[in-house]
């Protein structure tokens, strides 16, 4: 059993009210092999919501208190992101999952690359807040593209 970003299963939980549906993850959901979570909703943010980016570092820096998550309107939403990560971690521990498949690029779910905090589509190396917290607690995290490649499945999906 693994956690999966809910938007990959077709849940309309993206900031703009859309999703990142890929049929492979719906198949895993139907087979009971994944638990869909949306850390931003778990952290109390509404859908739709203003787009958010990590400012001044990575998800790990946010957890360590040296970077913030800011939305496009300049509002500090760091507490929501940390709370959402804690909720996702709690589910991972309770369900005893053996990893998580999370959406690349997201300030919560991003694995390996995230936006640089300038809202200019520039990417930097690093993980989102939830990914960083899961990794801190020993969980393996894949982004969806790497996971699909490992399984030999076509990676073509709607971009986030
Ligand atoms: Fe929610 Fe993560 Fe998908 Fe963003 S990438 S909508 S936080 S599940």
Q: Angle CA(61)–CA(113)–CA(9) in degrees, nearest 5?
A: 105
> How far is residue 115's CA from residue 123's CA, in Å, rounded to a whole number?
4
**Closest ligand 1 atom, residue 37 Cα:** 8
- Boundaries of every domain in the chain: 2-151
pTM: 0.96
pLDDT (tens digit per residue) in 10-64: 999 999 999 999 999 999 999 999 999 999 999 999 999 999 999 999 999 999 9
The answer to whether the beta carbons of residues 144 and 157 sit under 8 Å apart is: yes
> Which residues line the pocket of ligand 1, CB cutoff 6 A?
5-7, 13-14, 38-40, 103, 106, 108-109
The answer to whether the beta carbons of residues 75 and 97 sit under 8 Å apart is: no
> How far is residue 15's CA from residue 148's CA, in Å, rounded to a whole number?
24
Is residue 158 over pLDDT 80?
Answer: no
SS3 149: helix
Select from 35, 40, 159 the residue to mutate for testing ligand 1; criterion: most ligand atoms less than 8 Å from CB.
40
> How far is residue 106's CA from residue 14's CA, in Å, rounded to a whole number?
10
pLDDT (tens digit per residue) in 123-157: 999 999 999 999 999 999 999 999 999 999 987 65
Residues with Cβ within 8 Å of residue 143, at least 6 apart in sequence:
101, 102, 103, 104, 110, 111, 112
Is residue 160 over pLDDT 80?
Answer: no
């Amino acid at each position: 059993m693994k956690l999966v970003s809910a938007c990959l299963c077709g849940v309309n939980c993206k900031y703009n009210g859309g999703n990142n549906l890929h049929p492979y993850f719906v198949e895993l959901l139907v087979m009971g092999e994944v638990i869909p979570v949306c850390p931003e909703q778990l952290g109390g943010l509404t859908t739709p919501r203003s787009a958010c980016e990590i400012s001044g570092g990575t998800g790990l820096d946010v957890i360590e208190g040296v970077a913030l998550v800011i939305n496009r309107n300049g509002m500090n939403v760091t507490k929501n992101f940390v709370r959402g990560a804690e909720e996702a971690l709690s589910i991972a521990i309770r369900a005893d999952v053996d990893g998580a498949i999370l959406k690349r690029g997201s300030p919560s779910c991003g694995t390996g690359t995230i936006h640089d905090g300038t809202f200019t589509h520039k990417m930097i190396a690093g993980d989102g807040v939830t990914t960083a917290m899961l990794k801190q607690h020993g969980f393996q995290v894949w982004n969806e593209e790497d996971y699909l490649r490992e399984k030999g499945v076509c990676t073509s999906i709607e971009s986030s």
